[in-house]
Structure 1
Amino acid sequence: MTLLMIADAVTVTFKLNSEFQEEESESDIIWFLILASCGYYNVVWISLGFVEAVRLEEKAVHWSWSPRRPAWLMANREVVAVGLISTGVRAPRPLFRWEDAQPTDGEREVWNQISAVLQDSESMLADLQAYKGAGQEIRDAIQNPNDIQLQEKAWNSVCPLVVRLKRFYEFSLRLEKALQSLLESLTCPPYTPTQHLEREQALAKEFAEILHFTLRFDELKMRNPAIQNDFSYYRRTISRNRINNMHLDIENEVNNEMANRMSLFYAEATPMLKTLSNATTHFVSENKTLPIENTTDCLSTMASVCKVMLETPEYRSRFTSEETLMFCMRVMVGVIILYDHVHPVGAFSKTSKIDMKGCIKVLKEQPPDSVEGLLNALRFTTKHLNDESTSKQIRAMLQ
């Protein structure tokens, strides 16, 4: 077996000795354990079917092999990334089964709650995609302030749109509660985050679906300036009518407090991501007895697995459609952003458990039009990108 290390990154080339390949059957696996220096240390187990990477804090470089999975390592270390490599003996199996994950009895209660929220997600996206705005009516009303007919036409055009915007905002509150329920389930003792993700595949899938919806919603919102323009016109008109002591029927549905909260929501470039980021931060701050690593390791594991699924040709070839590919990329970006908001030093630090260079590289290998929204989310929604600790190379990759 050979181990190749290049610069600060760890690049490992594995060649199993022929005698091991001849002696070992598919069911009789030899585990090779390699500790490679890279700030923290990566432990890599190689079997005839797969590779698992483990983050360590010890500083030592050596390698050894054992005829079975080292139990002491599993008992004392947390798996933070899983890279699956086929050796031709056994087909690799990804950690996440997006398409066929079914809830177990233990997951079903939370799964049903989240499913009730997610069943409305497609209609929300369809409504947002069909949102055309009242730009022309508003311009006509502003240019002709004394024309009562044009004022009424603009107002009658804007009011149903504001009701639709309220529905989007209220859905964000439902997503916020759903995310907190998922985080409780996927981070609680006694299991590690990785064990949770492996045991509770249906909940992991729902977490992924929330992130998938969130990135899609924000991409559509960023491309639609009519939303901000319509709501600004609505606020100005309401304020003007209050000065004139007039009460409009729509205020019964969108009162001043609701309008203020909606205004803050839509002022964000990516309002749904901002909502989920705040929800994740709130979850960590409210659960002080829960180690923050339970949350950050859950997020970093999901990011790492998504990256592996995207950069490994064998997995890419299994994606049934372009939308499945986009699903995986949106989930990866979503968990990166949540990690960056929750982790004290963020996702871009050298000590981060997310390979940010690798994740950005995977995105940049896609057609620019399909990933520009995701790259913008990393540019403008993350918290630590512009920190001094962020490498110049990563900043340059996102310019």
Structure 2
Amino acid sequence: MGGFASKSSQAESPDLNIDLENAKPSPEETDTYTYVLNLLRPTVRILATLREYQGCNEYIRQAISNPCPETEEAAWEAVCPAVERLREFYEYAAALEDAVPRLLADMIKVDGSSDSEDPAIVYRVLERRPALVRLFADVLDFVFEFDELKMGNPAIQNDFSYYRRTLNRLKMSSQMAMRTPVVNDELANLMSLFYAHHTPMLKTVIDVASKFVSSRPDGFRGADVLAGLAGVCYHAIVKERLTHPDAIAFCLRVQVACAVLYDHIHPAGVFVRTSPINIRNTVRVCNEYAPQQSSLVNALRYNTRHLNDESTPKALRQLLA
């Protein structure tokens, strides 16, 4: 598959000199690189655990349809380990709340002082910090995969809802003294809000990135980081800099995640004609290289913020209708 030219009226995605596969940290990247690299180590295990999550549907069904001490005890014994796993996922999302701003801060840090809003400044910085760019890509890839698995497993919310209902019932009876809750009420409330979202990890990153942008005078450059990374992924695919299917799939997920996140943190969104992330090209490469992965285009369709704005060209709204 070769590269193709854009027929879109949107701007072309930036083509940066960054090799995602062979990026090595420079001395100035080392501290943040080591911190985030260590944070990412559990992600393979977390995704494997989520992929294997079977849920407690049968135990819960028995406890509800045939309530008695035996069925209720069996359901409680089954659901508590499940909630422990869900707590681990939630706590990992909380850890990302520290990592994302740290990554963004280092990737927008320019030499000297500059108030210029020229994206090229950030792009040049990114080319000098390829290892951090790769780690940020790894974070977004994990976020995308986690949420895709979560959306496909309704047992997660069913299990947690049953746990909370049972916990409330036990507290109103004399049985609570005989139980050790896996999570307390305060944490359970926070976890409930987290899992209520279809894409909880992405929501976490969107919230923390939005806070970063609004809290710093140079925070707007965070959008340039996303545009730069999306461009790296797009050109790596269409210019065949990557050929292994796993590497292409990785770049597709990261490119889409960048587009969604950009649409939330940039005031104008990702669909305007001046956007440096070309949505028509993004959709085209998803359909060309991963026609069976509907979750990619669906993320643009359902997780973006500005798709239905009047400023979004009608052709783009129709493209994602």
TM-score after normalising by structure 1: 0.73
Q: How does 1:284-323 map to 2 (within 5 A)?
A: 284-287=213-216, 289-290=217-218, 292=220, 294-312=221-239, 314-315=240-241, 318-319=242-243, 321-323=244-246
Q: Provide the rounded CA distance (Å) in 1 between the counterparts of 2:263 and 2:82.
A: 34
Q: How does 1:202-281 map to 2 (within 5 A)?
A: 202-244=131-173, 246-247=176-177, 249-251=179-181, 253-281=182-210
1:330 to 253, 257, 280: 253
By relative contact order (CA 8 Å, sep 6+), the higher-ranking structure is: 2
Aligned identity (percent) is 41
Q: Provide the rounded CA distance (Å) in 2 between the counterparts of 1:281 and 1:344.
A: 10
Q: How does 1:1-399 map to 2 (within 5 A)?
A: 9=9, 81-82=14-15, 95-145=17-67, 147-190=68-111, 192-244=121-173, 246-247=176-177, 249-251=179-181, 253-287=182-216, 289-290=217-218, 292=220, 294-312=221-239, 314-315=240-241, 318-319=242-243, 321-369=244-292, 371-399=293-321
Q: Give structure 2 stretches of 5+ with no counterpart.
A: 113-120
1:220-269 deviation digits (Å, cap 9, x = unpaired): 11111110110111111111122225246443x41111111111111111
* Structure 1 residue 391, shift from structure 2 partner: 2.1
Q: Provide the rounded CA distance (Å) in 2 between the counterparts of 1:119 and 1:398.
A: 35
* Structure 1 residue 380, shift from structure 2 partner: 2.0
Is the Cα contact below 8 Å between 2:59 and 2:78 reproduced in 1?
yes
Bigger radius of gyration:
1
**Are residues 264 and 295 of structure 1, via their aligned partners in 2, closer, same or farther at CA, if it must alter by over 3 Å?**
same
Q: Superposition RMSD on alpha carbons, in Å?
A: 2.1
Is the Cα contact below 8 Å between 2:270 and 2:306 reproduced in 1?
yes
Q: Provide the rounded CA distance (Å) in 1 between the counterparts of 2:132 and 2:179.
A: 42
Q: Which moved more, 1:379-388 or 1:270-279?
A: 379-388
Is the Cα contact below 8 Å between 1:115 and 1:206 reproduced in 2?
yes
- Matched residue count: 308
Q: Provide the rounded CA distance (Å) in 2 between the counterparts of 1:286 and 1:206.
A: 23
TM-score after normalising by structure 2: 0.90
**Are residues 328 and 189 of structure 1, via their aligned partners in 2, closer, same or farther at CA, if it must alter by over 3 Å?**
same
Q: Provide the rounded CA distance (Å) in 2 between the counterparts of 1:299 and 1:6.
A: 20
1:275-334 deviation digits (Å, cap 9, x = unpaired): 1111100111121x2151x1111111211221222223x32xx42x31111110111011
1:113-158 deviation digits (Å, cap 9, x = unpaired): 001100111010011011000001101111012x210110011000
